[in-house]
Amino acid sequence: MLKIIRYPHPILRRKADPVKEIDESTLNLAREMAETMYAAPGIGLAAPQVGFPLRLIVVDVSYTEGKPDLKILLNPEIVYKEGEIISEEGCLSIPGIKSLVPRASKVIVKGLDLKGDPLEIEASGLLAICFQHEIDHLEGILFIDYLSPLKRSLIERKLRKKSKEE
């Protein structure tokens, strides 16, 4: 199990580096990220959230319904967006905070699988939201960045106070 990095750690604001080589350490990281995500429990996790500034995400929005469908993407990017959906989001790196966030209702994501083969996934609803959230992490963007400046500053103040108490 990996330790989930919490806000305001600076790695969460850093743009992640591309995965250049798929080796044993990449495969182990992907496996450990999936185990960490399931144990948290969460539906998505990006490598920077566990201390690795790499463009690697794991996503599974179906396991809570008893139908695991783990998706692991290396160097993912959103190549198409359409529509808008506003839903409540939370984040494993910002525990205890949830807020309504606008996202595209449908996306197409491209990346590589663990064998290095190209992958393209069309997603809508919760899966589309999850992909956008996790890919944002790779850019150093957090869901709180979509909130009004006032709401964001109140949340940031609360989180800083909480991190000093821990």
Q: Which residues are catalytic?
A: 134
- 160 Cβ neighbours under 8 A, 6+ residues apart: 8
In contact, 135 and 143? CB cutoff 8 Å:
no
DSSP 75-112: EEEEEEEES-EEEEEEETTEEEEEEEEEE-SEEEEEEE
Side by side, which strands form the sheet with 56-59?
Answer: 44-46, 56-59, 71-82, 106-112, 118-124
DSSP β-bridge partners for residue 45: 58
Give the residue from 54, 41, 44, 43 showing the smallest Cα distance to 11. 54
- 61 Cβ neighbours under 8 A, 6+ residues apart: 43, 44, 69, 126, 127, 130
